[in-house]
Structure formats: C-alpha cells, structure tokens
C-alpha cells in the first residue's frame, strides 16, 4: 500500500469531495463487476505473467516510489518479461538482456515512442524536445541537428580545449581549497564545472562560479525537478483525477520550472539582441558562433515533410532544458558514485593510481588523449555505469501499436520499462553482481555503446541518449583527473553509505564529502 498511501497523503486538502466520491463510485463499480462476471485472471488477453492488480488502481497499492527495486523483486516471481496495470494504464517490465534485445532491437520500431507524463510535459514544453518528442519527422530533424552540427566527431574535437579548460580549472580551484584543509562536496564541484561546460556548448560563456552559490542552487533546482518527474503521478495513471492534480506535482513543477524557463528565455533574448545589434550596425556582419543556441536559432529548412521551416521558441527552450538537466545532473551524480566506489576499495584505487602515474606521470594534469591508454580506468568506469546507471529504468518508452513479444500480446500505448538497474544485480546476468569489481571488464568486449544488452546505461537504438559520447568521456576525464591530482580523505560513515535518493535518476543518498590533498608538485597547479 506504500505508493497508494503516499498518493493520498500528498493529496491532502487538494482533493475535492466530488472527486473522492467519483473515484469511490468508480472503484466500487469495478469491484462489483468482477464479482458478477467471474473475476479477472490476467491483466489483458494473452498478457505476459504478472500481478493482477486492483480494479481502477491496478498494481499501485503494491508499489513504492522506488520502482526499480519493486520491479527487480517482481521479476524474481514473474520472470524477465512481466505485465501489470498502473492505474488503468497497461505496462510491461523488461528485466533480462534477452528480452531487452527483443524489445529494443528486434522490434524497435514498435517501441520507439515515449510515455509523456504531466510533469514531463512541463519541462519539455509539451514534448518539444529530442528526448520526449514523439517518434516522427520533428524528432528526426532535432536529432539530425544535434548529431551533424553539434555532436559530430569534428565538433567533438573542436570542443576539446574547452573541456580541458573546465577540468583543469576545477583542479586548480580545488588546490586553493586544499590549503585550508576543507571538505568539499564532490558532486557539487563536478556539477558546477559541467554546468559551465554545457553553458559554453549552449551559449559560448561560463555562467557559474565555483566560489559562488549559483551552481549549488541550480543543482538543487534540477534535483527537485528530477525528484518530481520520477514520482509516479496518480493523474497520469487514472485520468479521472487529472483536473484536480491531487498530489500537487504539476503545481510544484510549474513553480520550480518557472525559474528555469526565465533563465532559458534570458539566454535566447540576449542572443537575439546580439544578432539584431550586429545587423543594425551594418559595419560588422554578425559572426555565427559554434554553439547550440546559434545553431537552433539559425535553423532554416525548405523540407515541407518535416513541417519545420524554422524552430519555434518552444523547441529551442525544450532543447536547452534537456541539455542543462541531462548534461549536468546525471554526469555529476555518476562521478560522485564512481568516486565513492573507488575510495571504498583500496585495491581498486591502488591499481588506478599506479596506471595513472605510469601513463601521465606527476609533472602535468591528465588530458583527454591519455584516456585511451588507461585500460583499468575504462574498466572502472564500465563498472560504475553497471552498478549506478544514470536512469535506472532508462527513459520509459511506449508502444506505437499492438504487437507480440515472446508470444505475448503487448497492447498499443503500453508503458515499457527496461530495468537496467535490476539487470546489474541479477546473478543470472553477472557473477557476484553486487560487488564493485572492474576486473570483470578486463579483456571483455562488453561496452556501453548500446550493442551489449546487459549494459545499457545510455539506452540503445534510435532513442538512445544522443549526448552519450560527451557524458561517457567526461566521466572518464573527471575521475582520472580528480584521482590523479589529489588524495581524498572521507569520513567512513559517508564513504560507506551507499543509500540512494530516488527520482527519475538516482543520486547518492548521503553526499560524498571529502578533503583533497595534492599529490603533484605545486608548480603543476600554479601554471
């Protein structure tokens, strides 16, 4: 009853008497119908095995806000593909690499849409973004813009000096902090550096300062958003209550997101004013910048099939929103998980430092060109992604049409969860699954690029994370740079606490506080 209980607790006085009566009557009628007509034995005709839930409520009374854990335990009972009803919405849960391959590869076309919730509708400007846009012409245009203009190999190479500057700038700042023997919040510092990396990618300038509270406030705001987005919403699952917003989630996210919307609006207006001024002056033609904002605002197309001759502001803001949220929160959280796991394992830390000192030495900082030479680091990062995927259930998909999987009927508009967090803990998939053991990847061809269905931190196929090469590179870079440049001392209770804070993503429950001690000569930090 945990999830149901939380729904009604959060609803409080927001639930009107008429709504309660309507829901009560609906529930009562649905209880009576099975009694008269002999009951229900499946979630739908030829459904995969799974718990047959309550009328109207489905399986909601048996779920908590930790769906990835609930689904992991259910898979032990019902198998790698099971069904359930979330309110009146049909859903399936995929819990094995074999089933993931069937759903995400063999039948990818059937499973290429997204489930759009009330809260996601707000942050994506009514699904006007690449992650949540329906599969179709608009989504293809947005993906093509990102891949060809901003995330191509050439663009990736051009942005390397910027990435180096952000990482090395963080190391120099931490060196100054280390002189006062002060504990630092690793995730917050990584977040601010990543936010500046993203802001340069978006609008060619730093927007945050490690010594100022703006980065911390932005991180807290993003986490509040992610927490609300990851909360199952009664209104999405039982449409009769949607007008009442009983949990207040839509009101809450509108309030939080209003501040971010103003931030995106300001970035756009500043760039348009800059372009307008250059055109008015006439003497100096406006010079396009190699950044996301300019690419989106300058987009023009004569292709009538995609229906977009220019990108409306809603799409531009939707893309900015995703870039800032997805490009900072999940990566900084993964860096924090990685640091925690490595510092808890002295044997892993010793091997990493030996490799770093052999490849990089102690007379300079790590640079990106070192990463391909750091085989043990690469194994460590794979293990971090295995145990701590940024999004434990990937981003839920939705069936475009009815289809069959493993001989079972999957209805149209069925919610599809792929539990990569659960697969990482399945002894049928991994030996000693709960152990942080990078050695399992030494000599292994298994990678995170979406071809190995037992390791899918970025998803796979056409709806995989477009920005995964950048996130993948930055996790390697930050972990290597932080560990090579400093020794880290953390309180044992903080270090050994691997509890989780759950939203759409999973953060470390207790922030990793650690004191940096320089490992390199002072001249390296002071250059």
Residue 337 makes CB contacts below 8 A (sequence gap 6+) with 384, 387, 388, 508
Tell me the mean pLDDT in the region 225-253.
86
pLDDT tens digits, one per residue of 11-67: 333 333 434 444 444 444 444 434 333 344 578 999 999 998 888 889 998 898 899
pLDDT at res. 175? 97
- For 269-293, what is the mean pLDDT? 75
Using DSSP's 3-state secondary structure scheme, residue 485 falls into: helix
Query: Does 424 score more than 60 pLDDT?
Result: yes
Question: What mean pLDDT, rounded, does the chain reach?
Answer: 86
Q: d(Cα 187, Cα 329) in Å, to the nearest integer?
A: 9
Give CA–CA dist 383/424, Å, rounded. 10
Q: Give the start-to-end residue ranges of the domains of the chain.
A: 2-526
Nearest-angstrom CA–CA distance, 434 and 425: 6
Q: Once rounded to an integer, what is the mean pLDDT over residues 416-431?
A: 97
**Structure confidence at residue 15 (pLDDT):** 37
- State the binding site: 465
pLDDT digit string, tens, across residues 430-447: 999 999 999 999 999 999
What 8-state DSSP symbol labels residue 12? G
* Lowest model confidence (mean pLDDT) among 31-45, 231-245, 400-414, 488-502: 31-45
Measured in degrees and rounded to the nearest 5, phi and psi for residue 271 equal: -70, -40
Confidence of residue 240 (pLDDT cuts 50, 70, 90): confident
Determine how β-strand 415-418 pairs with β-strand 89-94.
parallel
What's the gap between Cα 488 and its chain centre?
27
| Overall average pLDDT of the 464-484 stretch | 94
Q: Is 92 helix (H, G, I), strand (E, B) or coil?
A: strand
Tens of pLDDT, residues 129-186 = 889 988 888 898 899 888 888 888 888 888 899 999 999 999 999 999 999 999 999 9
Residue-by-residue DSSP string for 149-196: IISSHHHHHHTHHHHHHHHHHHHHHHHHHHTTT--EEHHHHHHHHHHH
Annotated binding site for heme: 465
- Model confidence at 305: pLDDT above 60: no
CATH class of segment(s) 2-526: mainly alpha
Please indicate whether residue 377 or residue 57 has the higher confidence score (pLDDT): 377
What mean pLDDT comes out for the span 234-239? 85
Q: What is the C-alpha separation between 47 and 53, in angstroms, rounded? A: 13
Phi, psi dihedral angles at 18 (to 5 degrees): -65, -35
Rounded to 5 degrees, φ, ψ at 54 are -75, 155
Tokens of 357: 């000192």
Q: What is the predicted pLDDT for the residue at 334?
A: 95
pLDDT bin (cut points 50, 70, 90) of residue 236 is confident
pLDDT-based confidence at 224, cuts 50/70/90?
confident
Highest-pLDDT range among 18-27, 59-68, 482-491, 496-505: 482-491
- Alpha carbon distance 226, 380 (integer Å): 26
Q: What is the pLDDT of residues 511-522, one digit of tens each?
A: 999 999 999 999
384 burial level (CB within 10 Å; 0-12, 13-18, 19+) = buried
pLDDT reported for residue 215 = 66
């Amino acid at each position: 009853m945990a999830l149901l209980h939380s729904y009604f607790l959060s609803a409080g006085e927001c639930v009107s008497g008429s709504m309660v009566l309507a829901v009560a009557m609906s529930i009562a009628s649905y209880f009576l119908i099975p009694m008269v007509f002999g009951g229900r034995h499946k979630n739908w005709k030829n459904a995969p095995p799974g718990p047959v839930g309550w009328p109207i409520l489905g399986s909601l009374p048996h779920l908590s806000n930790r769906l990835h854990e609930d689904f992991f335990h259910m898979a032990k009972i019902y198998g790698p593909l099971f069904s359930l009803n979330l309110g009146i919405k049909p859903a399936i849960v995929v819990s094995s690499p074999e089933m993931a391959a069937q759903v995400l590869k063999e039948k990818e076309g059937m499973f290429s849409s997204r489930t759009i919730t009330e809260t996601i509708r707000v942050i994506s400007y009514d699904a006007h973004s690449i992650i949540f846009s329906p599969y179709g012409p608009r989504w293809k245009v947005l993906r093509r813009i990102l891949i060809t203009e901003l995330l191509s190999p050439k663009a990736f190479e051009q942005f390397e000096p910027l990435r180096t500057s952000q990482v090395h700038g963080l190391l120099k700042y931490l060196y100054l902090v280390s002189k006062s023997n002060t504990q630092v919040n690793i995730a917050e510092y990584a977040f601010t550096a990543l936010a500046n990396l993203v802001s340069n990618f978006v609008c060619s300038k730093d927007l945050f300062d490690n010594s100022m509270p703006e980065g911390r406030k932005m991180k807290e705001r993003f986490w509040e958003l992610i927490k609300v987005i990851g909360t199952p919403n009664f209104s999405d699952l039982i449409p009769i209550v949607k007008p009442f917003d009983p949990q207040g989630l839509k009101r809450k996210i509108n309030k939080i997101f209003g501040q971010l919307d103003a931030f995106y609006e300001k970035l756009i207006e500043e760039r348009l004013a800059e372009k307008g001024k250059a055109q008015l002056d006439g003497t100096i033609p406006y010079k396009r910048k190699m950044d996301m904002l300019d690419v989106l605002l300058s987009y023009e197309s004569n292709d009538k099939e995609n229906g977009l001759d220019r990108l409306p502001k809603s799409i531009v803001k939707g893309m900015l929103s995703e870039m800032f949220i997805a490009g900072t929160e999940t990566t900084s959280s993964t860096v924090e998980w990685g640091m925690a796991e490595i510092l808890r394992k002295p044997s892993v830390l010793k091997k990493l430092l030996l490799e770093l000192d052999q490849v990089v030495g102690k007379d300079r900082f790590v640079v990106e060109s070192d990463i391909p030479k750091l085989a043990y680091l690469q194994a460590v990062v794979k293990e971090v992604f295995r145990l701590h995927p940024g999004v434990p259930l990937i981003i839920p998909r939705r069936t475009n049409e009815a289809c069959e999987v493993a001989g079972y009927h999957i209805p149209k508009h069925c919610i599809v969860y792929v539990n990569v967090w659960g697969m990482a803990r399945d002894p049928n998939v991994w030996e000693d699954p709960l152990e942080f053991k990078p050695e399992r990847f030494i000599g292994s061809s298994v990678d995170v690029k979406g071809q190995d269905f037992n390791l899918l931190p970025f998803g796979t196929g056409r709806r995989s994370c477009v920005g995964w090469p950048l996130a993948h590179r930055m996790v390697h870079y930050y972990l290597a740079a932080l560990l090579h440049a400093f020794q880290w001392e953390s309180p044992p209770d903080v270090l050994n606490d691997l509890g989780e804070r759950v939203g759409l993503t999973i953060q470390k429950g207790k922030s990793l506080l650690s004191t940096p001690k320089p490992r390199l000569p002072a001249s390296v930090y002071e250059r």
